[in-house]
Amino acid sequence: MSNSAPSPSHGNEADTNQLSRSGYIMLGLAGVFWFAMLENIISDHRTRFDGYPFHFAGLFSLFFALALWFVLLVLLTTTATRRSSRWTKLAAPGVFLASLVGTLGASDLYVAGQWWGVFIVVILAPFVAFFAIRPTLTVAVTIILLSTPPVALDWVRVARAHANELAAQERGRQQSLARAKEHEAAEQLKDAAFSKLGPDSTMSEYLAFMDDPRRMRAALDGIRMLKSRQSDAVLLLRKGRLADLSGLYDYDIEPTVELCSTYATEVSSYAPIVYSPLGRVDWHAVTVVEKQLPNQKWLVESGCNLSASLAEVVSKVHAAAQSQKSGSREETRLTKLASDLATLRGTK
């Protein structure tokens, strides 16, 4: 009777052998994906080292990593949990989750510049595969010990980065408040200085506020009420401050002979500056001459003879235009300026 009854142990042994063969097939696939992941991680590391922030090797390493961990999950499911002791069945999910979380943490550290994280990524997978084939407490503890530091350090890194971000935001807020206070204090000083100006002040003192949008209109009104505005204008021209007098025509002064001659001398001094003998164009000087067109129009219409001075400037502006690339924006700008100046002196 015993000869005719099948032995249960033989059936279980055959089933176990079948599972072993499936496990080794999965182990082989895991090895292939592990090697491909490792090769692409190394390639990605070299690319980052060469200064490139992104490379397709990073995408391939991610793909092979996902494939590897999927195979490891299947491997654990089909081997360790089906043919091992009860504690292994309970430990397998924890081992897998711990190794997966540890790999993710190590990957984050690697991306953040902690290059040792890649070694954790590389060695955890073989340990998980080994646990699936030969599950022991020692291997399980080793996997947990390898997985814990990357997770903890990554959490510390994220927490520190968040704290640094909050601190940077607070510093930015404090700096903004400090700048606002400085600006307010500076504006109060300007208000105090401007309030002290009056008809007995100088044009130079009012000109300091002509670039201030808040006080420009009041500064212009103040200049028009200055007792010394006529002499101040001549004095500023003699000091070479033509660039500060672009609104001279609007200062309620008389185009006297002294003013005309002084202005003509100052304008002619810009001719060699606009285009130097070395063939260099001074674009700041060009801008100054452009802003003087309203003044020159006012003086010429008032009877001032600026012909000689403007002729010098026109000649230099023409030469500067010819030095530029034909059809360029710079040539067009200089050609227009020369034409406007020639019109003011009565010639084209």
Average pLDDT of the chain, as a whole number: 82
Each residue's pLDDT tens digit, 293-302 = 999 999 999 9
pLDDT at 38: 73
* Confidence check: pLDDT of 286 > 70: yes
pLDDT at 12: 41
On whether the CB atoms of residues 291 and 249 are closer than 8 A, the answer is no
pLDDT at 178: 93
Single pTM value for the model = 0.56
Q: For residue 76, what is the DSSP state?
A: I
Q: Where are the domains of the chain?
A: 8-158, 242-344
pLDDT at 91: 77
pLDDT at 43: 65
Each residue's pLDDT tens digit, 315-346 = 999 999 999 999 999 999 999 999 999 998 76
Interatomic CA distance for residues 220 and 266, integer angstroms: 23
* Confidence check: pLDDT of 11 > 70: no
Percent of the chain with pLDDT over 70: 84
Q: Which two tokens stand for residue 304?
A: 């001032």
